[in-house]
A = this chain, B = another copy of it.
Amino acid sequence: MEAVRMAFYFGYGRQSAAQQGCSVLDSAFIRYFSLMFPDYTGNDVFEDKPFNIEITVDHDDCESYPNEDSSERYHLSVSAGQAALNAETVWGALRGLETFSQLVYQDDFGSYFVNKTEIDDFPSFQFRGILLDTSRHYLPVKDILKTLDAMAYSKFNVFHWHIVDDPSFPYQSQTFPDLSSKGAFHPMTHIYTQSDVRRVISHARLWGIRVVPEFDSPGHTKSWGKGQPDLLTPCYSGSTPSGAFGPVNPVLPSTYQFMASLFKEVSSVFPDSYVHLGGDEVDFSCWSSNPDVRAFMQKMGFGVDFTKLEAFYMENIVNITSALNKTVIVWQDVFDYHERIPKDTVLHIWKGIPASYKAELSRMTKAGMRVLLAAPWYINHISYGQDWRDYYNVKPLNFSGTEEQKKLVIGGEVCMWGEYVDATNLSPRLWPRASAAAERLWSDEKQTSSVGKAFPRLQDFRCKLVRRGIRAEPLYVGHCKHEYQGV
């Protein structure tokens, strides 16, 4: 055991490909110093000999963005007076810094300690995401940034930004400014400007978090219609338009021109190689009421099978985004009606709660598709008591299938849908419940099979979150040494 009191230094190893000036690590050193020593005033006396942690990375990826292939493996070695952190990438180094920060503890007299240890660590799953829904309620940028901070504390690495949906369109498009000026809850106060989006992406990058935007269509687009005339299908009541609108109109060439322009913008604004195209819950009643749509069906030989029309639409959209070099994620619905789905598409499993998602995992991986599991982690659903246990007990690979099939599970995602969630209750609803899923997605399943053993660890981690200013709710009766200080 080694006493550490304030005299603490980060440094780059001589062999490190990244050196001082590396934006990701330089800023991480500053952040982690504050996180480890929250009561540091700058006037503390250095009572003990200094402690040095030396970081060495193989690649100078300091100015890049994390991506689906980024290694997050790190090796951490803590000995007397020093620690060595080695990683292939700066993203791995970030994960190692997080681990190190959680190893530092304080005794009752205020001295800091870290135990000697040797850690070789890497994630079980490459994609460990959180979905925030900024359409059903607007989330101020600062709440998104704070969520990114807390995500890094739990080693989440993907922010799935479900940015628009039926109720509102807060994304301020450069190409189509009317989408937000007419489709947001408020055109000035309830939008994400280009500068807001850049801020989120850049904040996420510094934590090694990817930002995957979702522009869900053809359903879930009511708010789009307000600022983009002729985009949505006019619903008919008998032979006359009813005044209501349905999903995106798949029969007009203008629809695809619009989508091509929008996704061209989205692709350049969001640097991640993934984009989420949605494709869930398309209601056919409006399409089938519309004579132009019916005529198109006939012309295309689709008969009365609207899934063929939906497939036609999605295929066009997928082609648009593929031409922009984006890998596509879609909700699982698309797989069900679409045979010609590109093989590198990721299927997002959200159905089959609480149990039948295992059958979905089997079925889709058997077809050779990559999958992302969300179904058991719809964390917006709440119940009384310790439901984090359910999130912890999920075994993403415990389904019937070959080893090859299991490799197609790229990871999992905690979804915080926004029907009942905004800035007032987001944090306590997310944390520490999402952290239970995070451990499942990062850690070796064999070493983390016991909910009972996880409980005190999660309780302790929750107090760490609270100490870091995250409004993480309690798991059960008890207290933290430092209770939440905000009101």
A439-483: contact bitstring with B at CB < 8 Å (1 yes, 0 no)?
000000000000000000000000000100001111111110101
Give every chain B residue within 8 A of A385 (Cβ-Cβ). Answer: 420
Q: Is A73 an interface residue (CB 8 A)?
A: no
Task: Report the contact-size class of chain A (Cβ under 8 Å from the partner).
Answer: 35 or more
A472 CA / B422 CA spacing, docked (Å): 10
In contact, A476 and B424 (Cβ under 8 angstroms): no
A479 CA / B423 CA spacing, docked (Å): 11
Q: Is A109 an interface residue (CB 8 A)?
A: no
From A15-23, A261-269, A376-384, the one touching the partner chain is: A376-384
In contact, A479 and B428 (Cβ under 8 angstroms): no
Q: Is A167 an interface residue (CB 8 A)?
A: yes
In contact, A479 and B424 (Cβ under 8 angstroms): no
In contact, A481 and B428 (Cβ under 8 angstroms): no
Give every chain B residue within 8 A of A421 (Cβ-Cβ). Answer: 473-474
A170 and chain B: residue at smallest CB distance: B479
From A133-141, A247-255, A399-407, the one touching the partner chain is: A133-141
A383 CA / B387 CA spacing, docked (Å): 12
Q: Is A187 an interface residue (CB 8 A)?
A: no
A473 CA / B427 CA spacing, docked (Å): 12
A417-434: contact bitstring with B at CB < 8 Å (1 yes, 0 no)?
011111111011000000
A482 and chain B: residue at smallest CB distance: B189
Q: Is A143 an interface residue (CB 8 A)?
A: yes
A143 CA / B485 CA spacing, docked (Å): 9
Give every chain B residue within 8 A of A186 (Cβ-Cβ). Answer: 479, 481
Give every chain B residue within 8 A of A486 (Cβ-Cβ). Answer: 423, 486-487
Q: Is A142 an interface residue (CB 8 A)?
A: yes
A476 CA / B142 CA spacing, docked (Å): 22
A165 and chain B: residue at smallest CB distance: B477
Interface SS, A side: loop
In contact, A424 and B420 (Cβ under 8 angstroms): no
Q: How close is A55's CB to chain B, nearest CB, in angstroms?
A: 30
In contact, B474 and A137 (Cβ under 8 angstroms): yes
In contact, B466 and A424 (Cβ under 8 angstroms): yes
Known: A384-B382, A479-B138. A473 touches B422 (CB 8 A): yes
A230 CA / B478 CA spacing, docked (Å): 25
A126-149: contact bitstring with B at CB < 8 Å (1 yes, 0 no)?
000000000011101011001000
In contact, A474 and B424 (Cβ under 8 angstroms): yes
Give every chain B residue within 8 A of A146 (Cβ-Cβ). Answer: 487
In contact, B137 and A478 (Cβ under 8 angstroms): yes
In contact, A384 and B381 (Cβ under 8 angstroms): yes
8 Å CB contacts to B: which residues of A176-216? 185-186, 189-190
Give every chain B residue within 8 A of A284 (Cβ-Cβ). Answer: none
In contact, A484 and B382 (Cβ under 8 angstroms): no
Q: Is A157 an interface residue (CB 8 A)?
A: no
Give every chain B residue within 8 A of A189 (Cβ-Cβ). Answer: 481, 483
A369-399: contact bitstring with B at CB < 8 Å (1 yes, 0 no)?
0000000000011111100000000000000
In contact, B185 and A479 (Cβ under 8 angstroms): yes
Q: Is A435 an interface residue (CB 8 A)?
A: no
In contact, A425 and B473 (Cβ under 8 angstroms): yes
A478 CA / B427 CA spacing, docked (Å): 19
Q: Is A168 an interface residue (CB 8 A)?
A: yes
Give every chain B residue within 8 A of A381 (Cβ-Cβ). Answer: 384
Give every chain B residue within 8 A of A472 (Cβ-Cβ). Answer: 424
A207 CA / B137 CA spacing, docked (Å): 32
- A–B complex contacts, Cβ < 8 Å, 28 sampled: A137-B478, A138-B479, A140-B485, A167-B477, A186-B481, A189-B481, A189-B483, A190-B479, A190-B483, A380-B384, A382-B382, A419-B476, A420-B473, A420-B476, A421-B473, A421-B474, A422-B479, A422-B483, A423-B483, A423-B484, A423-B486, A423-B487, A424-B428, A424-B484, A425-B428, A425-B474, A428-B428, A486-B486
Closest 6 CB pairs of A and B: A425-B428, A185-B479, A425-B473, A424-B471, A423-B484, A136-B477
